[in-house]
A = this chain, B = another copy of it.
Amino acid sequence: MGYKLKKIINKAENVVEEMLHGMALANPALIHSEGLGVISRKEKASKVGVVSGGGSGHEPAHAGYVGKGMLDAAVAGNVFSSPDPERILEGIHQANGGKGILLVLKNYSGDFMNFTMAADLSGMDGIDVEHVIVKDDVAVEDSTYSTGRRGIAGTVLVHKIAGARAEEGGSLLEVKAAAEKAIQNLRSMGMSMSACTIPMIGKPGFVLGEDEMEIGMGIHGEPGINRTKIKSAKEIAKILLDKILDDYEASGIEMKNSEVALLVNGLGATPLMELYILNGEVHAYLAEKGIRIYKSLVGNYMTALEMAGCSLSLLKLDEELKKLLDAPSEVPGFSVSYGAVKTCVK
């Protein structure tokens, strides 16, 4: 096998380490703990450390969100596979500013077991560790890798909220509370139009017909709700938003006249052109529903290797969440149409 795959790689078994190496070279504010899959901030701060991570293949997640105002460390496992506790301990260690650590997990059983194991182990070392679990994907109740809902792209907004709260000096419990609030108010759903290939496996994980898309597919290619013929951007926006809005309603969260942050996320191979077209449709549909978009982020935030497709995330905002969302951040991945235009404006 090796590089006969149609990918710009060297050896399939080395992709994660080589990626993180290349990433740290491009970002002088970051350091790479070699062999341990961890990217962390070079400049350490005496504040609550926010750590996230999970399988690789979702770039820029998670390492792309390390930096001032977001994560202090990101821990990468192999492609689509949880990092082990040893790596997570390294992440905790790198992020430790003496004020405790918040772990932001996506709800996958492997991640859950490995992160909580690491939390237990570092508890023994006297580090205060708390965790929150993002389950934003309203598509399916249980999934290939999760008991309960999956965590997907909306997680990036939780990184932003938790990171901003930590940056402004919140205590561990305050940072955790901000993250929990974001999680409570977050809903996402995606769709996919093509498969992706894990380098070590070398062939696509599933096959979609030439004119098919799958609604609700997960970011590892886990099955969604149903397969249909490809639909227009307008219809896709409606399908995803209807399910998201129904879910808010089912949880008793009133959305009419509320303000939201919108994340239009690309899964990897979908051109920005299409994401912007979709953004236009989402704006139109939410306007119809009386929901105001406070900020929209459009780009590749949490990908699935070279999968074509997208996800939409909404985060219902209150004044605290708005302030945290608007707080400055300096990270490689959180910027397209946002960091630059809004966050960096002082």
Contact = CB atoms under 8 A, between A and B. Distances in A.
Interface residues of A, number: 85
Interface string A260-271: 000010001111
Given A22-B280, A272-B300, A280-B18, A344 B344 contact: yes
Interface in A259-288: 264, 268-281, 283
Given A6-B193, A22-B278, A60-B336, A273 B15 contact: yes
A264 B26 CA distance: 10
A289 interface: no
Interface string A300-343: 10010110101000000000000000001111111111111111
A230 B5 CA distance: 8
Given A230-B4, A335-B336, A336-B336, A19 B273 contact: yes
Q: Specify which of A18, A236, A269, A273 lies most central, judged by the most chain B CB atoms within 10 Å of its CB.
A: A273
B331 A278 contact: no
A210 interface: yes
Contacts of A234: 10
A335 B299 CA distance: 12
A25 B283 contact: yes
Contacts of A114: none
B337 A341 contact: no
Contacts of A20: 276
A185 to B, nearest CB: 21
A57 B231 CA distance: 21
A211 interface: yes
B233 A8 contact: yes
B341 A231 contact: no
A271 B305 contact: yes
A295 to B, nearest CB: 9
A252 B60 CA distance: 39
Given A23-B337, A234-B10, A271 B268 contact: yes
Given A22-B276, A272-B303, A335-B340, 14 more contacts: A5-B230, A6-B230, A7-B271, A8-B277, A9-B274, A25-B296, A26-B337, A67-B340, A270-B306, A332-B335, A332-B336, A332-B341, A333-B336, A335-B339
Interface of A: 2-10, 15, 18-23, 25-30, 56-57, 59-60, 64, 67, 193-194, 210-211, 213, 229-234, 236, 264, 268-281, 283, 293, 296-298, 300, 303, 305-306, 308, 310, 328-346
